[in-house]
Structure 1
Amino acid sequence: MQQLPLDIELHSDATFANFVEGENQLLLQKLDSICQGDNDFIYIYSEKGHGRSHLLQALTHAFSEQNPDKLIAYLPLDNSMLHPQMLDGLVAFDCVSLDGVDEVIGELEWQTAIFNLYNQLKEQGKSLLITGLLAPSQMKIELQDLKSRLSAMFIYNIKPLNDEEKRILLQKKAQERGLELGTDVAQYLLARQQRDLPTLLEILDKLDQASLQAKRKLTIPFIKEVLDL
């Protein structure tokens, strides 16, 4: 995998294996087909915390491992070091992922750069993935040709996890931290906290730190004490 001269770090734990797919099997199949050699143009949107960045980084890891002779680029568009001109050379890559297009889509220069990249990759039969908070039809895009191109991509809205799937995710994330989070404890958290994933993962981080400091396991009494429940 060729790296761009930027301070962009991929999370090593961003893999398809530790992504709880829920009802998003079709999207996972589409991403896997790219790793297998298919070319595709995919636009993924959802609220924050539903796994957009995780999936693009997982794709980057898997694509690189399965296609060592090909190039893939991952660009988180919230990186302040990025500028539109950096997209000019990305046509040399076999697969390009632009993560968080809503961060830059309000600027005409960025719109033009993304439009040009789209056309170049399409002409060469390569792959482009873009993520955002909103569907293309809901975004304010001055360059209508770009809006038309984005709308022509395979558009997928990530479906949120149900409570059972969130429990499984919490237990997976706890296990990655070396914590044992029993099913009853995970269910207790879901019953008494906000159920959006960013909040739940933030709570898990807090419990992880508290557990290390107190050298105690994650039990319901300990969680009550830490979270003042």
Structure 2
Amino acid sequence: MPKQVPLPLEFHGTKAFESFHPGPNIQVLDTLQALSRNQEEAFVFLWADKGLGKSHLLQATCRASVLKNACYLPLAETNRFGPELLQGIDSRGLVCIDDIEQIAGHPEWEEAIFHFFNRHRENRNPLLFSASVPPAKIGIKLPDLASRLKSGLTLQLQNMNDQDKLEALTLKAKSMGLDLHEDVGRFLLRRYPRDLPTLWTILETLDYASLSEKRKLTIPFLKLQLGDL
């Protein structure tokens, strides 16, 4: 009997719809919230450039699902285990598979995902896949799987403007227990890289520093802690 591999089902506390600022992506958020309530398309494919929050949204959808035993599978972290990782998850309610492009060009994985897809859909359970490119550009070699990936509702996360990034930054800071005034947030956006992962890393640095030194987040404090990052 093959050894059972534990599935990565841990949901991080901040990965919820409430901690995601949609900006121009309100339609995407509405659709995924409906999917979590089992009220939307049976298969949704979400793609986005790195750092726009697709993994956050997959975990949030899984976390909010009204169906029992929802499953989040991050292939960028788990594909090293092999396709046996898929054993048994076709009986789950909602399955969210992140970074599906990781299996492109790997015949065993492509075959396994294809059969999993068919079994899961036969059970009339919803699916949510994600990638950094649209379905047609993933590079899947198995024609039947490539066709399946293009068969559902395809959504794209759009880049945020500076105002949306400021609001996202403020929401993230609030979820961390930080009081980020608007002038401090705008200073961060002017002086440091504006991609969201970098901004989150900066917030974590500031969170640790403010707790250690018992200081509020002010522009002089940011300059002292971050310098010319």
Report the TM-score, using the length of structure 2 for normalisation.
0.90
- Answer yes or no: is 1:197 the counterpart of 2:199: no
Q: Answer yes or no: is the 8 Å Cα contact 1:77–1:101 preserved in 2.
A: yes
Q: 1: CA distance between counterparts of 2:121 and 2:7?
A: 25
Structure 1: unaligned runs, 5 residues or longer:
none
Aligned residue for 2:122?
Answer: 123
Secondary structure at 1:71 match in 2: coil
% identity of equivalent residues: 39
Give, in whole Å, the separation in 1 of the partners of 2:177 and 2:30. Answer: 30
**Is 2:62–2:72's contact at 8 Å kept on the other side of the alignment?**
yes
1:124 deviates by: 2.4
Counterpart of 1:41 in structure 2 is 43
Deviations 1:184-213 (A, max 9, x none): 000011011111111111111111122122
What do the CA deviations read for 1:85-114 (whole angstroms, capped 9, x no partner)? 222322211211111112222311111111
Q: 2:108 maps to which residue? A: 109
Aligned-pair Cα RMSD in Å: 1.7
Answer yes or no: is 1:53 the counterpart of 2:55: yes
Following superposition, the deviation at residue 174 of structure 1 comes to 1.3
Partner of 1:5: 6
- Structure-2 change in CA distance of 1:33 and 1:156 (3 Å): same
Q: How does 1:185-224 map to 2 (within 5 A)?
A: 185-224=184-223
Q: What secondary structure, in the 3-state scheme, does the structure 2 residue paired with 1:79 have?
A: helix
1:188 aligned partner, one-letter code? F
How many matched pairs?
A: 222
CA contact (8 A) 1:88 1:113 kept: no
- Between the aligned partners of 2:127 and 2:89, the Cα distance in structure 1 is 10
C-alpha contact (below 8 Å) 1:94/1:127 kept by paired residues: yes
Q: Distance in 1 between matches of 2:148 and 2:33?
A: 23
CA distance in 2, matches of 1:142, 1:7: 27
In terms of mean alpha carbon deviation, does 125-134 or 85-94 score higher? 85-94
Deviation at 1:83, TM superposition (A): 2.2
1:37, CA displacement in angstroms? 2.5
Within 5 Å, give how 1:101-180 maps onto structure 2.
101-180=100-179
Runs of at least 5 residues in structure 2 that lack an aligned partner in the other structure: none
Is residue 185–residue 220 contact of structure 1 (8 Å, CA) maintained in 2?
Answer: yes
**In structure 1, what residue type is equivalent to 2:217?**
L
Shift of 1:34: 2.0
Task: Report SS of the residue matched to 2:124.
Answer: coil
Which residue of the partner structure matches residue 99 of structure 2?
A: 100
CA distance in 1, matches of 2:21, 2:227: 29
